[in-house]
Structure 1
Amino acid sequence: MFDVLMYLFESLIQNDADLHVDQEELTEELVRAGFHHDEVYKALAWLEKLAALQESGQTPYLTKGAPSAVTRVYCETELRVLDPETRGFIMFLEQSQVLDNVTREMVIDRIMEIDTNEFCVEDLKWVVLMVLFNVPGKETAYSQMEGLLFESPEGLLH
C-alpha cells in the first residue's frame, strides 16, 4: 500500500496533475501500473482519511487548551510500529517547527493506518510530506520537509 501512496504522490501531486480524477479511472490506471486492487483500495482509503482529517478541522486526539510544549507519550501499538529512530525524527521535526502538535498527530494517525511490518525514517519523511501537502498554511514546513527528503548530505558524516 505504501508503494501505491508514494507512486500517487510522486506522479499526480508532484506533477500538478488533476486531483479530481475519477476514482475508478485512477484505480484502473494504478492496476495497469502493476499494483494490486486491494492495495490500491487501501491507499485510496488512506488518502480519503487524510483529507477528512484536514477538512474536518477537528483534532479529537488533542485536548483543547493543551500547552504547545508537551511531551508525546506513545501507546504500545505505536511503539511497535515506530522504533526509537522514527520517534526521534518526529521529535526533531517538532523541534525544527516542521511539525506542530496537530500535524504530528495527523502524521502518527496516518502511519498507524499503513499496513506494513517495516516502517523506517525514509517512510516517515514521505508520510510527513503527504500530510503537510494537505494542510493549508503549511507551505514553509512542506518546503523544509522537501529539503530534508531530497537533499543528500555532502562529504563525510561524523
Structure 2
Amino acid sequence: MFDILMYLFENLVHNETEYRVDHDELTDELTRAGFHLDEIYQALSWLEKLAQLQETDSDCYIEKTTTPTSTRIYTYEEQQRLDLQCRGFILFLEQVNVLDTATREMVMDRVMEIDTPEFCLEDLKWVVLMVLFNVPGKELAYEQMEDLLFDEMDGLKH
C-alpha cells in the first residue's frame, strides 16, 4: 500500500497534476501500473481519511490541557511501529516548527493506518510530507520538510 501512496504522491500530487480524478480512472491507472486491487483500495481509503482529518477541527487531535512544554508519550503500538530514530525525528520536526501538535497527531494517525511490517525513517518522512501537503496554511512547513527530505537524498552540499 505504501508503494501506491508514494506512486500517487510523486506522479500526481507532487508534479502538480490535477489529483482530484475519477476514482475508477485512478484505480484503472494504478492497476495498469501493476498494483493489486486490494492495495489500491487501501491506499485510496488512506488518502480519503487524510482528507477527512484535514477537514475536521484540529482540537480533536489535541487535549485542551496540552501546553508547549507537553511531552508526547507513545503507546506500545506506536513504539512498535516507530523506532527511536523515527520518534526522535518527530520531536526534531516539532522543535524546528515543521510540525505542531495537531499536525503531529495527524502524522501519527496516518502512520498507524499503514499496514506494513517494517516502517522506517524514510517512510515517516514521506508520510509527514503527504500530511503537510494536505493541510491548508502549512505551505512553509511543507517546503521545509521537502528541503529536509530532498537535501538528504541528494547528499548535503557544503
Q: Under TM normalisation by the shorter chain, which class is it?
A: over 0.9
- Coordinate RMSD, CA, aligned: 1.1
Distance 2:90 2:34 in 1: 32
Q: How is 1:2-151 mapped onto 2 (pairs within 5 angstroms)?
A: 2-151=2-151
CA contact (8 A) 2:61 2:106 kept: no
Q: Return the alpha-carbon distance in structure 1 between the equivalents of residues 106 and 55 of structure 2.
A: 12
Q: Offset of 1:89 from its aligned partner?
A: 0.4
2:157 is matched with 154
Deviation per CA, 1:115-143, whole angstroms, max 9, x where unpaired? 00111111011000000000011011000
SS at match of 1:97: coil
Taking structure 1 as the reference length, what is the TM-score of the superposition? 0.94
Q: Unmatched 5+ residue regions in structure 2?
A: none
Structure with greater helix percent: 2
Which moves more between the two structures, 13-22 or 72-81? 13-22
Shift of 1:154: 3.4
- 1:73-109 Cα deviation digits (max 9, x unpaired): 0001101101000000000100111000000000010
Q: Is the 8 A contact 2:58 2:102 kept in 1?
A: no
Q: 1:2 to 1:59 in 2, by over 3 A?
A: farther
* Rounded Cα–Cα distance in structure 1 between residues aligned with 2:31 and 2:17: 18
Could you say what secondary structure the match of 1:79 adopts? helix
For residue 65 of structure 1, report the CA deviation from its aligned partner.
Answer: 4.6
Counterpart of 2:112 in structure 1: which amino acid?
Answer: M
Matched letter for residue 52 of structure 2: A
Q: Distance in 2 between matches of 1:18 and 1:8?
A: 11
Which stretch of structure 1 is more off in the superposition, 75-84 or 51-60? Answer: 51-60
Q: CA deviation at 1:70?
A: 1.1
SS at match of 2:62: coil
